[in-house]
Structures are given as C-alpha cells and as structure tokens.
C-alpha cells in the first residue's frame, strides 16, 4: 500500500526535483535570475499556457485528450476583440460570454465523445479545426482592443501580481479543490483508472466525461481572456501548437497519459519547468529559441520512459 502510494507520487516528486534543480542551476549560472521580476515574468508569460494545461490535466486524468485548447484560446481572443471593438459590447458582458461559449463548446465535444463513443483524439481534432476556422471567419487579421474598462483591467494588479497571474493562480486553486476535495475529482481519477470499474462502482461516467471536457473548454477560454490582457489584442492565430505545449507540461508534471494517475499541482510544476527552460534560453542569449522545443522534447522522452518504468514496476 505504501509502495503503491509512493509509486503514484514518484512522477510528481521527479518533476519537483527537476523543476527545483533547473531553477537553482539557472540561478547559479545567470546573474539576476533569482529575482522577483524574473519570477513574476515567469508566471505571467506562462499564465495562458498554464490555464490551458490545468484544464488539459483533468481530461488526461480521465483518460482522454483535448487537442482543441490552443484553437479555443485563439478563437476566444478574436471573439472578445471583435465583440468589444466591432459590436461595441462592454467587456463586463463580452468576457463572461466568451467563457460561457468555451464551456459550451467543451460540453459539446464531451457529449459527442460520450454519446457516440468516438475517440477523443479525433473529436477534439475536429474541434480544433472548427475553432480555428471559426476564428478566421470572425477576422483574418489581429485586432487591437481599446476600451477604457479594458485598459483598467490590464493596469490592475493585486499587490505585485498583475491580473494574468491572479487569474492563473485562482485557476490553480480552483483546479486543486475540484480534483482533491470533490466527488467529481474522485470520479475523474476512477474513470481514468478503469472505466468499467468506475461504471460498476456506480459513478456517473457520462456526466464526468462531459464535465471534464467542459472544464477544459472553460480553462482554455480563460487562457484566451488572459492572452488578450497580455497582448491587448485578439488574434485568430494565437495559441498555434499551444495544445502540444499544454500536453507536454501535463506529462512533465507527472500525469500518466493513460489516465488515473497524476496531480494538478504537478501540472503547475510542469508549466514552471517549461517556463524556466524558456527563460534560461533567453538569459543565455546566444542560444536560439528553437532549443526550447528540443529541450522540451528531450524532457518529454525522459518522463515518458520514467512513467513506463513505474507502470511496469506496479504491474509486476
């Protein structure tokens, strides 16, 4: 029992060690890396990726996958920009509307996956195409947002934390509560562990599945909101390939892609690890940005193989 518990936490532990080691190494190598400004930038630059990754964590924990989060982020940004700029809607109306649409679209994807028993991979792939296409239908060009209320939101900061970080951390807190202290969270783990066992236990399979994708849509839309705060614009191409980074962050965070094992907090650490690698490459100066992708790919391999070893150890 103890071994099993430990095995379940091992990937999370590994992530924490890697994340801390990278941070310390970067701090020793680069002057000024360990500072409040850099730490705040780390959080702010990765806040929209983090939100998408948090939603993705629930989907993967439940044994699914959501490829539509990047496209959802892009769609949300251009929707918000157009609603405010062209339709003259107040941000107080536009933002909730965008969030609701995100959740609704996620629920739609979940329903198709559940009721028609289609592979999540395919359905969310179609969702990705649909959202990208819809974003381009709204506008082919990026659109700047100029609205006094929006400027106030962008300038707002809680203590030293600007709004994107506040939303990210609030999202993290909500995700932690949902996964660890609610029946829904337990159902997600059970569903990812074994769908047939979860059904035999009388857990609401369909509702959980649909809710997981709803949550992912909502978080991705929140990522879109943060992205508009971050860039003060909507862009239909925003978040291209972001779904890959989100999935990578979840895996590096120690969540097994087969579902059932992992933790929301690991995803937070995974996002930080991603951010630290990116930031170190910027600090290095001579290295180009494509090293980030190679480093993330390398970390992915290590974590995937580590997970396989743990799974094999468990089954024997």
Partner 1 sequence: MPESAAYGFRERAGRLVWPLLALALLLGLNAASAEVSFFRLTVRDGCLYGPAIDVLNRGAPLLLAALGMTLVIATGGVDLSVGAVLSIGGAAAAVLLAQHDAAAWVAALAALAVCLVAGLWNGAIIAFFGVQPIVATLVLMVAGRGIAQLMTAGQIVTFENPAFAALGTGYALGLPLPVWIALCAYLLTGLLVRRTALGLFVEAVGSNETASRYAGVNVRGVKLFVYALSGVCAGLAGLIAAADIKAADANNAGLYLELDAILAAVLGGAALTGGRFSLLGTLIGALFIQTMTTMILLRGVPVEPTLALKALIVLGVCLLQSEPLRRRLMFWRAAP
Residues that bind partner 1 (CB under 8 A): 65, 112, 115-119, 121-123, 125-130, 132-134, 136-137, 140, 236, 244-245, 247-248, 251, 257-258, 288, 290-294, 296-298, 300-301, 304-305, 308
Residues 6+ positions from 82 with CB-CB distance below 8 Å: 138, 139, 143, 234
Nearer to partner 1, 115 or 181 (CB): 115
Annotate 22-80 with DSSP letters as a single string. Answer: HHHHHHHHSTT-SSHHHHHHHHHHTHHHHHHHHHHHHHHHTT---TTHHHHHHHHHHHH
CB of 287 to partner 1, least distance (A): 10
Nearer to partner 1, 173 or 294 (CB): 294
Question: What is the Cα–Cα distance from 184 to 80, expressed in whole angstroms?
Answer: 30
Q: In the chain, where do the E strands start and end?
A: 143-144, 157-158, 161-162, 233-234
Question: What is the Cα–Cα distance from 316 to 294, expressed in whole angstroms?
Answer: 33
Nearer to partner 1, 69 or 95 (CB): 69
Find out whether 44 and 164 touch, Cβ atoms under 8 Å: yes
Nearer to partner 1, 75 or 150 (CB): 75
CB of 294 to partner 1, least distance (A): 4
Residues 6+ positions from 63 with CB-CB distance below 8 Å: 191, 192, 195, 258, 259, 260
**Which residue in 189, 245, 252, 305 sits closest to 67, CA to CA?**
245
CB of 191 to partner 1, least distance (A): 17
CB of 23 to partner 1, least distance (A): 22
Question: What is the Cα–Cα distance from 316 to 136, expressed in whole angstroms?
Answer: 51
CB of 204 to partner 1, least distance (A): 18
CB of 177 to partner 1, least distance (A): 28
Question: What is the Cα–Cα distance from 267 to 265, expressed in whole angstroms?
Answer: 5
Nearer to partner 1, 96 or 133 (CB): 133
- Beta strands 157-158; 161-162: pairing state: antiparallel
CB of 33 to partner 1, least distance (A): 23
CB of 129 to partner 1, least distance (A): 4
Nearer to partner 1, 179 or 255 (CB): 255
Nearer to partner 1, 115 or 158 (CB): 115
Sign for the pseudo-dihedral over CA of 267, 268, 273, 275:
positive
Question: What is the Cα–Cα distance from 87 to 85, expressed in whole angstroms?
Answer: 6
Nearer to partner 1, 99 or 247 (CB): 247
């Amino acid at each position: 029992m103890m071994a099993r518990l430990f095995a379940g936490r091992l990937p999370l532990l590994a992530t924490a060690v890697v994340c801390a080691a990278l941070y310390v190494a970067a701090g020793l190598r680069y002057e000024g890396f360990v500072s409040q400004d850099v730490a705040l930038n780390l959080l702010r630059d990765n806040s929209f990726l983090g939100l998408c990754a948090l939603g993705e964590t629930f989907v993967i924990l439940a044994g699914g996958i959501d490829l539509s989060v990047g496209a959802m982020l892009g769609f949300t940004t251009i929707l918000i920009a157009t609603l405010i700029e062209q339709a003259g809607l107040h941000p107080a109306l536009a933002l909730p509307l965008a969030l609701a649409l995100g959740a609704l679209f996620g629920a739609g994807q979940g329903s198709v996956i559940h009721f028609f028993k289609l592979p999540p991979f395919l359905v969310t792939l179609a969702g990705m195409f649909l959202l990208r296409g819809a974003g381009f239908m709204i506008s082919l060009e990026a659109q700047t947002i100029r609205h006094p209320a929006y400027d106030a939101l962008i300038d707002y900061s809680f203590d030293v934390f600007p709004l994107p970080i506040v939303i990210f951390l609030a999202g993290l807190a909500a995700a932690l509560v949902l996964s660890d202290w609610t029946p829904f969270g337990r159902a997600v783990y059970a569903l990812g562990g074994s769908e047939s066992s979860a059904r035999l236990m009388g857990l609401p399979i369909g509702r959980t599945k649909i809710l997981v994708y709803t949550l992912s849509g909502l978080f991705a839309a929140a990522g879109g909101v943060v992205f508009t705060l971050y860039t003060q614009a909507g862009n239909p191409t925003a978040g291209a390939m972001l779904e890959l980074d989100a999935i990578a962050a979840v895996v590096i965070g120690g969540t097994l892609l087969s579902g059932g094992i992992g933790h929301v907090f690991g995803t937070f650490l995974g996002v930080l690890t991603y951010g630290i690698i990116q930031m170190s490459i910027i600090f290095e100066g001579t290295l180009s940005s494509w090293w980030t992708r190679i480093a993330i790919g390398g970390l992915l391999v290590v974590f995937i193989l580590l997970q396989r070893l743990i799974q094999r150890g468990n089954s024997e």
